[in-house]
A and B are shown apart, each in its own frame.
Chain A
Amino acid sequence: MEEEIEAQISDLSITKKKTEAEEEDQTLIFLDSVDDYLILIQTLSSTLRQGWLELASARHSMGASRVNTALLSLNHRSAATKLDLHYPHNIDGSITKSPQFNLCKWTSTDDNNSSMEKENIEEDEQLKENINSLESENQESSLESSKGSETVASPHKTENNFQKERAKVLKMFGTLVSPKLRASQLSFETALETLVKVANVRSSILEAHDALVKDTKNLKE
Chain B
Amino acid sequence: MANRAQIPTNNSALIAMIADEDTVTGFLLAGVGNVDLRRKTNYLIVDSKTTVKQIEDAFKEFTTRDDVAIVLISQYVANMIRFLVDSYNKPVPAILEIPSKDHPYDPAHDSVLSRVKYLFSAESVASDRR
Contacts and interface: CB of A to CB of B under 8 A. Distances in A.
Contact of A199 (B21, B32, B36, B70): B70
Given A41-B105, A104-B12, A209-B115, A79 B92 contact: no
B8 A85 contact: yes
Contacts of B25: 55, 67-69
Main secondary structure of the interface of B (DSSP, over half): mixed
Interface of B: 8, 10-15, 21-37, 39, 41-42, 45, 69-70, 72, 91-92, 94, 96, 98-99, 101, 104-105, 107, 110, 112-113, 115-116, 119, 125, 129
Contact of B31 (A55, A165, A198): A165
B28 A72 contact: yes
Interface string A76-119: 11111111111100000001011101001111000000000000
A96 B28 CA distance: 31
Interface residues of A, number: 64
B94 A85 contact: no
A57 to B, nearest CB: 12
Contacts of A85: 8, 10-11, 13, 69, 92
Contacts of B27: 188, 191-192
Contacts of B98: 44, 48, 195
A202 interface: yes
Contacts of B31: 79-81, 105-106, 165-166, 169, 189
